[in-house]
Structure 1
Amino acid sequence: MFTDRPLQSSRLAVYGGGPLVARLLVGLGAGHVVEWTRRIAGSDAVVLERAGSRWRLAELGQAVLGADVLILGQGPARREAAPPALQEALRRRPTLVISLVQGASVAALRRWLGCAVPMVRAVPEPTARSFEGGCSVFATPDVHATQRRLAEQLLDAVGWPLMVPFEELLEPVAALTGCEGGCAFLLPRVLAQLSLGLSPVRKEARLRAMFPGGTLGLVEASAEETLRLSA
């Protein structure tokens, strides 16, 4: 787990609960606060503060000022807009937002939050039941290198992170990370060798065409065939 390595963050804000948020908190060694994310009424945020190698509950409330990262577990599907206090806090101090909200695009989440914050979207491999699955990750251009490293460290608690160059590739790549053997190891090579001239939609179509059976197709392909497809 990434928690064996130094984490360059001391305060995390968590808004919304759900299984992915719980999975991340458990992976961070903060499973003892999962119950709080289940109890909050949807208008509060949990702020965690690191004390040594452990995380403790620092405060409840919408004030995320001072937090290095906001973990978002709830979005447009649950309410029309983020709570006004949360929107105001993000406008006053644009905080890196890591979204675990499935099916909500960066554009939709920014509209919901009321501001264009730097954002990382994460889509874990859908069938993974442990922290051993993959997690496709997309970062908006305004996420700087330090924030990107921090996001990767945090998301390693959900599944091994694989950065994708376009948001449209999140779901198909997440599905492919569930393959067995050496198939998942080839994914970075596959992504790197997709033609840079293709549009995001065509990249997704090409990725699906390369592995028409999805995860199952990767597993069933011979090693030679998989290498040929990724070349």
Structure 2
Amino acid sequence: MNSPRIAFVGAGNMATSLIGGLLAQGVPASHIRASDPGVEQRSRLNAEHGIELFADNPAAIAEADVVVLAVKPQVMKAVCLDLARHLKGHELVVSIAAGISCASLANWLRAERPTAPAIVRCMPNTPALLRQGVSGLFATPEVSAAQRQLAEQLLGAVGLALWLDEEQQIDAVTALSGSGPAYFFLLIEAMTQAGTQLGLDAQTAARLAQHTALGAARMAAESQVEAGELRRRVTSPNGTTEAAIRCFQAGGFSELVQQAMQAAQQRSAELAAQLGD
């Protein structure tokens, strides 16, 4: 990354993860600032990463090329209205808050300027804390090619960054990858419980389930073969895996996953409507 000046408004877990990823990519600590109301959080982040911390949001964004909005959705409007008169107009604004549309952000941040700010809205997921995340990104028309590259590099510091053609696809990303880690945790939990019922001790069952999930995910991510074909390759006719797969299919596994993701997508859209302006 070409060392832009980056300001984080909010210094929670996701912001901290992004800051760590940027520093690992070679962005100088002197080019990163952050603001947070918590004294302990500011002290910890300064001690860990050596960046400059502020209690005041406007002070943090002074001279920034990129402003990352990393506050809770419920306080986003108040934060944006406070920042609006302090923006110079050339900054890229990146929002990692769930449920806040680009239109709402633009309305809150515009102040008296005749043009809308350049906004990238994204939906990262919690594995970003391990720099194994995946994020869906959407850019407004005001975002330049150079700014798109900056946003991609910013989110790419903690994993995979994929561009979306339409903002409403953020709801689908939320349903798939935003909420997705919890689906896998649920499966690992269920497999662990089943393993104990089959006679394994809880620790052994948990480790087997965790590392099976990890290995399968790596195979799927690193292979050029689609997941369905990988499944078929390990499913021998009349074997143990086929017996289990048939049981899953008989219980409507695929249909249940689809229903669950549709529920998540609908809830994401509902929250966006409630939090918007």
TM-score, scaled relative to structure 2: 0.51
Q: How far does residue 38 in structure 1 lie from its aligned partner after superposition? A: 4.5
Aligned residues of 1:16 and 1:72 also touching (Cα < 8 A): yes
SS at match of 2:122: strand
Mapped pair 1:146 → 2:143:
no
CA deviation vs aligned residue, 1:134-169 (integer Å, no higher than 9, x gap): 111111111111000011001112321010101111
97, 104, 121: which one pairs with 1:101?
A: 97
Task: Name whichever structure is richer in strand by fraction.
Answer: 1
Identity of aligned residues (%): 33
Alignment correspondent of 1:23: 17
6, 9, 29: which one pairs with 1:12?
A: 6
SS at match of 1:77: helix
Alignment correspondent of 2:78: 81
Q: Tell me how far apart the structure 1 counterparts of residues 145 and 225 of structure 2 sit (CA, whole Å).
A: 24
Alignment correspondent of 1:200: none
Aligned residues of 1:76 and 1:108 also touching (Cα < 8 A): no
Aligned residues of 2:71 and 2:97 also touching (Cα < 8 A): yes
Aligned residues of 1:176 and 1:184 also touching (Cα < 8 A): no
Alignment correspondent of 2:120: 120
Could you say what the CA RMSD is over the residues aligned between the two structures, in angstroms? 3.9
Aligned residues of 1:75 and 1:104 also touching (Cα < 8 A): no
Alignment correspondent of 1:57: 51
State the aligned residue count: 173
1:136–1:174 CA distance, 2 compared to 1 (3 A): farther
* Unaligned runs of at least 5 residues, structure 1: 1-6, 42-47, 49-54, 188-210, 218-231
Alignment of 1:1-231 (within 5 A): 7-29=1-23, 37-40=35-38, 56-58=50-52, 60=54, 61=56, 62-63=58-59, 64-74=61-71, 77-78=74-75, 80-82=77-79, 86-90=83-87, 92-115=88-111, 116-125=116-125, 130-177=130-177, 180=217, 181-182=220-221, 213=257
Q: Tell me how far apart the structure 1 counterparts of residues 78 and 70 of structure 2 sit (CA, whole Å).
A: 14
Aligned residues of 2:17 and 2:129 also touching (Cα < 8 A): no
AA at the equivalent of 1:125: N
Q: Tell me how far apart the structure 2 counterparts of residues 150 and 186 of structure 1 sit (CA, whole Å).
A: 31
Higher Rg of the two aligned structures:
2
TM-score, scaled relative to structure 1: 0.60
Task: Name whichever structure is richer in helix by fraction.
Answer: 2
1:103–1:79 CA distance, 2 compared to 1 (3 A): closer
Alignment correspondent of 1:228: none
CA deviation vs aligned residue, 1:5-32 (integer Å, no higher than 9, x gap): xx123311111232211221121228x9
Structure 1 stretches of at least 4 aligned residues deviating more than 6 Å after TM superposition: 183-187
Q: Tell me how far apart the structure 1 counterparts of residues 75 and 222 of structure 2 sit (CA, whole Å).
A: 36
Q: Tell me how far apart the structure 2 counterparts of residues 185 and 38 of structure 1 sit (CA, whole Å).
A: 43
CA deviation vs aligned residue, 1:91-132 (integer Å, no higher than 9, x gap): x33310011111111112222324521111110135665221
1:8–1:79 CA distance, 2 compared to 1 (3 A): closer
SS at match of 2:94: strand
AA at the equivalent of 2:70: G
